[in-house]
Amino acid sequence: MKKLIAFFGGSGGLGTKVTQYLTQYKVDSLSSKDVNLVNSSDIDIYLHNNEPDVIVIFSNYNFNSFLHKYTNNEKDLYTQIDVNIKGVTELVSKTLVGMRARGFGRIILASSVTVDKNVMGTGIYAASKAYYENLVKTIALENASKGITANCIQLGYMDGGLTYTLPDEFIQNTINSIPVKRLGKPKEIASTIEFLINNEYVNGSTLKLTGGL
């Protein structure tokens, strides 16, 4: 029987490109309309009706702003916290209950190159991604004995998703700064997800898919 991947953010621009390569799995591509991470009942209903072997979380809310300007954008500040921190944490917490009972689970969170390569205006977004990189270490410590792994994929600039919300000049300058001189491919993300599903000994880690940045 194929393993079930619950891919949160799998119906977005980048997620859609990634999931088409995960053909050896049953994939639920979930948008915020399917499961709103700030709505506890949405999470409860999904997990009541499904028993995912793997959860991949690409869902996030991003709003670029200098920190001193958040006084005029408090809603966007708190939405980032509600989705990226509170929502993701609740989803992981509740998913772990079923995974521990079944004795198997894979938790894969999408981090960002902005954790290590600071970009002005991305402070809150980058901080939430840094939280994931630390969180998977604790999840691994607490759950490895139950057949569960938790890891991050630190995404660089990829061919899809948020990259194409950036100005063309910024994208080209960024490509020039990447040692491999190109954007990352969705197929490379998919193969990394498959690696993390199949390798139990990689646990509590962050794999950098950044082209050398």
> Which residues are catalytic, by number?
125
Sheet strand arrangement including 4-8: 26-30, 4-8, 54-57, 105-112, 148-155, 206-209
Give the Å distances, CA to CA, from 3 to 14, 22, 119, 139: 22, 11, 37, 21
Reduced to 3 states (helix: H, G, I; strand: E, B; else coil), residue 65 is: coil
Angle at CA of residue 93, ends 34 and 123, nearest 5°:
80
**Tokens standing for 19?**
């999931």
The 8-class DSSP code of residue 116 comes to: T
Residue 45 DSSP SS3: helix
